[in-house]
Amino acid sequence: MLIIATGEYGDRDTPNIVKRLTVASMWLVGVVLIAQFTATMTSGLTVQRLQSGIRGPDDLAGKTVGTVPNTTAEFFLRQRGAMILPITSAEQGFAALRQGQASAVVFEAPTVQYFVRSNPQEHISLVWPVFHPEKYGIPVLVGSPLRKRINAALLEMYADGSYEELRKRWFGDSQ
């Protein structure tokens, strides 16, 4: 105990086994406590670094966000005070995210959902809700017989649940 407290060995008596075990135990406890403290600090800092702090659209102000220029997404982000990093594809946006060039990527929800679901090793999370929902269409020539067939097929898929099944298969349960 004297060695631990003062760093000096003042007891001149021949140390017995109990004293030796006590000193060794105290050194071991000290090493374990220091290791635990170091591990706690480093893991805490690592977790803090991995968490982006972006939980929704209001958290994007002042952050660099990758998105396609001249789109509703860019207009939406500029209204919220985000700095725009122009991208031309989702892959380019995810690369910017990985390299720390962007804090977030705002892109078409189906593309982002598919990427997140297909690449769990990337540790990229999807922030909900969809900021600005937009509808998609299937264009056909005016008077095309395909229009009625496509509409009928889509309505049937909605009715029998196969649309939802496909959506979950390719984009996951998050909606």
In angstroms, the CA 43 to CA 37 distance is 10
**What is the extent of the structural domain holding 154?**
137-175
* Domains of the chain: total: 3
- Residues 112 and 61 placed together within one structural domain of the fold: yes
Q: Does 164 fall in a domain?
A: yes
Write down the pTM of the prediction: 0.55
Q: What is the pLDDT of residues 93-142, one digit of tens each?
A: 989 988 889 988 888 888 888 888 888 887 777 776 676 677 778 899 99
- Residues 109 and 162 placed together within one structural domain of the fold: no
Longest dimension (CA), the chain: 107
Number of residues assigned to the chain:
175
* DSSP code per residue over 12-79: -SPP-HHHHHHHHHHHHHHHHHHHHHHHHHHHHHHHHHH-----SGGGGTTSEEEE-TTSHHHHHHHH
- Residues 111 and 145 placed together within one structural domain of the fold: no
Query: What pLDDT is attached to residue 17?
Result: 76
Please, are residues 51 and 123 in contact by the beta-carbon 8 Å criterion?
no
- Residues 103 and 67 placed together within one structural domain of the fold: yes
Q: What is the pLDDT of residues 70-82, one digit of tens each?
A: 888 888 889 889 9
Q: Does 127 fall in a domain?
A: no
